[in-house]
Structure 1
Amino acid sequence: MSRFFIALLPPQHIQEYANEIKQYFADHYASRGAQKSPPHITLQPPFEWSDAKVPQLEASLREFAHGRQSIPITLNGFAAFPPRVIYIDVVKSQPLLTLQADLMAYAESNLEIVDQVSQTRPFAPHMTVAFRDLTKPNFRLAWPEFVHRSLNFDFMAENLTLLLHDGQRWNIKSEFAFCPNR
């Protein structure tokens, strides 16, 4: 069994910007947890999956993605899940909310992947830059520095990304393009 999750990844220049912020948190606030994955917006939280059935998982995600079109994503400023997590805020657009809800329903009905926590709280799209290893005192120091910092990026999410945990960090396993002319 391996651990996977499904996400949207921003274009390379936005990933580089987010990684610089993650490095800043590592250097100034001893928070390195966010560096264990590429910058992303989680759509399907981590789940266990049989290594022997990865081709089935990938084929199913390819089929799901093919039935979708690219969606616009807006990143706007910073927000937090006090007292530990700071993130780049993702605007809750209807296309993003629909994609996430459809993916969760599809994963449940076609792959029997169910995330109990996600079923009890609303989807809060975000791109983490300081993770749960940020101490409460460091959160109190860092948050005033980021709460009013401006950041604005717009991009088109062109595909779903399946990430695989290697025991240390999350790596891109495969990507599934949205069908551009649906």
Structure 2
Amino acid sequence: MSRFFIALLPPQDIQDYANQVKQYFADRYASSAALKSPPHITLQPPFEWADANLSLLETSLKEFASGQQPVAITLRGFSAFVPRVVYINVVRSQELLNLQADLMAYTESNLGIVDKVSKTRPFAPHITVAFRDLTKQNFKAAWPEFEKRQLDFEFTADKLTLLLHDGRRWNVKSEFAFADDGLILSQF
């Protein structure tokens, strides 16, 4: 069994920015746990999956992704889940909320993947920059510095990313492109 999760990853320049912020939290506030995964928006929280069935998982995700349209994503400012988590705020859009809900329903009905916690609370899209090992005291010190910090990025998410835990950190295992209607030529 291996641990996986499914996410949207921003383009490299935004990942670089987010990683700089994560490194700042590691250096300044002794919170390095967020460095153990690439910057991402979690759509399907971590789940266990049998290694022998990896091709089924990947085939299913490819099928799901091929039916999705690219989604415009806006990142604006920082926010927090008090008292331990600081994150880059992802503006909630109906397209993003629909994508996440559709993925959760698809993985449950087609793969039997169920995240009980996600069923009990609304989807809060975010890109974590500090969590778990950020002490309450360091959160109190860091939050005033970040709560008014300006940040504005926009990008188009055009693929799902499957991440695999190697025992130490999360790594990209595979990516699944969304449909690109721009390439479909109508026939007369």
TM-score normalised by the chain length of structure 2 = 0.96
Aligned ranges 1:1-182 → 2 under 5 Å = 1-181=1-181
Residues in 2 aligned to 1:60 and 1:159: alpha-carbon distance in whole angstroms: 14
Residues in 2 aligned to 1:137 and 1:57: alpha-carbon distance in whole angstroms: 41
Q: Deviations over 1:37-70 (max 9, x none)?
A: 0000000000000000000000000000000110
**What secondary structure is seen at the aligned counterpart in 2 of 1:176?**
strand
**What secondary structure is seen at the aligned counterpart in 1 of 2:117?**
coil
Residues in 2 aligned to 1:168 and 1:131: alpha-carbon distance in whole angstroms: 16
**What secondary structure is seen at the aligned counterpart in 2 of 1:101?**
helix
Q: What is the Cα deviation at residue 12 of structure 1?
A: 0.2
Q: What is the Cα deviation at residue 156 of structure 1?
A: 0.1
Residues in 1 aligned to 2:132 and 2:76: alpha-carbon distance in whole angstroms: 22
TM-score normalised by the chain length of structure 1 = 0.99
Q: What is the Cα deviation at residue 131 of structure 1?
A: 1.2
Which structure has the larger Rg? 2
Residues in 2 aligned to 1:122 and 1:155: alpha-carbon distance in whole angstroms: 23
Residues in 2 aligned to 1:170 and 1:180: alpha-carbon distance in whole angstroms: 28
Q: What is the Cα deviation at residue 81 of structure 1?
A: 0.4
- Unaligned stretches of 5+ in structure 2? none
Q: CA RMSD of the aligned region, Å? A: 0.6
Which amino acid is 2:163 matched to? L
Residues in 2 aligned to 1:156 and 1:180: alpha-carbon distance in whole angstroms: 12
Residues in 2 aligned to 1:59 and 1:135: alpha-carbon distance in whole angstroms: 41
- Unaligned stretches of 5+ in structure 1? none
| Superposition misfits of 4+ residues, deviation over 2 angstroms | none
Residues in 1 aligned to 2:66 and 2:26: alpha-carbon distance in whole angstroms: 38
Q: What is the Cα deviation at residue 132 of structure 1?
A: 1.2
Q: What is the Cα deviation at residue 154 of structure 1?
A: 0.3
